[in-house]
Amino acid sequence: METVTAAFILTTFAGLSTGIGSLIAFFIPKPKMTYLSILLGFAAGAMLYISFVELLSTSIENVGFLVANTAFFLGMVVIYLLDRAIQHVHLDTLPDSHVQLDTLPDSRQTELQKAGIFTAIGIAMHNFPEGMAVLVTSLSSPYLGMSVAVAIAIHNIPEGIAVSVPIYYATEDRKKAFAYSFLSGLSEPVGAAFGYLLIFQFLTATLLGIILAFVSGIMVFICFDELLPIAIKYGDEHLMLSGLLSGMAVMALSLHLLG
């Protein structure tokens, strides 16, 4: 039960980090978007390294190459279909890195508010499987769960910006913008709770191995579909790569020291 409690704490931390995006957007005068590029590259590097070196390899050891890889690609397909079905649009609602946050046009208030609300819904639905990913990873290894939670938390920050910025410029209400951003992250611990109720009582070593590969596929898709494109948008490929390689190196070193 201590492991499960820790998993839920990590999942809640990752999900509610969308609120940090609101704070960055509204309470820091000139946020350095290049920092965001490096951080997202770092998060992607950490998640990719964990996915292949730890999760998928552990799954292969437990359930075999064919079953593990089938679950891996199934995870990618499922999150892809989810992404297509709910039209995840947070990339489109983020302002370009050279645009100041206080120069967005007022003439599109209705469109901006609608964009923010639909982005919040889309992010909430995407955070649901991420919550399950943090839970399952934490059950396998609390340290890996913490690493995944931190990486997802970093990735959730621009999502918080994506929700809060259009709503704020449509309503001029900071509290409302922050509330939408904050609440969109609550689906992450809800997803963890759903995963716990659905699988925990049936959890075996074989099922855990399959789920680890499935989660690995989800994480790899998130890296290539969300983290790396946003990292390039807010910097360039060199900044993104420096973060990516740093994330991989830090994870490799930490796993070595803990091994």
Mean pLDDT of the chain: 77
pLDDT band of residue 104 (cuts 50, 70, 90) is very low
* 198 has a pLDDT exceeding 50: yes
Instruction: For helices 174-184 and 18-27, give the axis angle rounded to 10 degrees.
Output: 160
Share of the chain above pLDDT 70, in %: 78
* 71 has a pLDDT exceeding 70: yes
* 259 has a pLDDT exceeding 60: no
What torsion, rounded to 10 degrees, do the Cα atoms 85, 157, 170, 179 define? Answer: 90
pLDDT band of residue 118 (cuts 50, 70, 90) is low
The tokens for 148 are: 């995944």
pLDDT band of residue 245 (cuts 50, 70, 90) is very high
Task: Name the more confident of 209 and 91.
Answer: 209
Q: Do 192 and 11 touch, CB atoms closer than 8 A?
A: yes
pTM of the model: 0.67
* 91 has a pLDDT exceeding 60: no
The tokens for 161 are: 């910006």
Q: Do 40 and 194 touch, CB atoms closer than 8 A?
A: no
Q: Cα separation of 16 and 156, whole Å?
A: 8
Assign 3-class secondary structure to the chain: CHHHHHHHHHHHHHHHCHHHHHHHHHHCCCCCHHHHHHHHHHHHHHHHHHHHHHHHHHHHHHHCHHHHHHHHHHHHHHHHHHHHHHCCCHHHHCCCCCCCHHHCCHHHHHHHHHHHHHHHHHHHHHHHHHHHHHHHHHHHCHHHHHHHHHHHHHHHHHHHHHHHHHHHHHHCCHHHHHHHHHHHCCHHHHHHHHHHHHHHHHCCHHHHHHHHHHHHHHHHHHHHHHHHHHHHHCCCHHHHHHHHHHHHHHHHHHHHHHC
pLDDT in tens, 129-162: 778 778 878 877 888 888 888 887 887 777 777 6
pLDDT of residue 157: 79
pLDDT in tens, 222-236: 889 877 887 887 777
- What is the average pLDDT across 184-189? 85
pLDDT of residue 100: 44
pLDDT of residue 92: 42
Positive/negative CA dihedral, 172, 124, 229, 8: positive
Q: Out of 21-30, 59-68, 75-84, 233-242, pick the least confident.
A: 21-30
pLDDT in tens, 16-46: 888 887 787 677 655 566 777 887 788 788 8
pLDDT of residue 95: 46
